[in-house]
Amino acid sequence: MGKADSVFEVIGPIMIGPSSSHTAAAVRIGQISRAILGEPVNKAIIQLHGSYALTGKGHGTDKAVIAGLMGFDAADERIRSSIEIAKDEGMVIDFQKVDLGDDYHPNTIRLLIEGASKSHFEITAISVGGGNIGVIEINGLPLRLSGEYHTLISIHSDRPGIVAKATSIMAKNKVNISTMYVSRQRRGGLAAMAVEMDQPLPPEAVSELANEAQIVRLIPPIY
């Protein structure tokens, strides 16, 4: 065995449910998706791929991801009845088993979610073991974020200056960058950026960037 960075990689997270990869991770995927949406979820299509599609029901993945979309954490007793709670509060839910192809991790969930304001996102995320997750796509754009750090997300037109503006904002606020990932559909099309940071960035610090981008989100660590 290699050296673990955290005891949670050995014993797993505190949680309700039988599986850190299929239950706790699914809660975290729901939580980070809700944070990206930026408001309560009114509608959710949850597409389960690979092992999630085959064994997720038995591991409570369906209840877990809805619990995360409701804002519950992995140790919340309400996970067991999260689907009923969500429906009682008016959330429209549709679970689908899908085959996204061999290029996708066997523990993949794709969420198509909509909020009260009709804002909507397509978020693809994976479980990588021990309750750890990774978001790999937002609105079809490749990204990489773990949910373990304060994270700045931007979706914007592909043009010079956006990345420089974001890093200058962080430097001005003495925020250290842990990881940065950028991608684009095509030259001049939509682009995406995810910056994981060691310190929180004040919300007002991104107002300049918000004027330059279609979507800007500050995501706290997801526990």
CATH code for position 18: 3.30.1330.90
**Residues 183 and 132 grouped into a single domain:** no
The pLDDT value recorded for residue 20 is 53
Confidence of residue 45 (pLDDT cuts 50, 70, 90): very high
Final residue belonging to a domain, choices 138, 171, 195: 138
Q: How many CB atoms lie within 10 A of CB 204?
A: 8
Structural domain boundaries, residue 107: 1-138
| Stretch 18-37: mean pLDDT | 84
- Quote the number of domains for the chain: 2
pTM (whole model) above 0.85: yes
CATH of the domain at 178: 3.30.70.260
Query: How far apart, in whole angstroms, are the C-alpha atoms of residue 85 and residue 67?
Result: 9
Query: Which residue's structure tokens are 């309750």?
Result: 131
Among 138, 161, 192, the domain-final residue is 138
137: Cα separation from own chain's centroid: 9
In whole angstroms, give the CA distance from residue 135 to residue 33.
Answer: 9
Whether the Cβ atoms of residue 67 and residue 79 lie closer than 8 Å to each other: yes
pLDDT, average across residues 3-15: 44
Which of 73, 104, 138 delimits the end of a domain?
Answer: 138
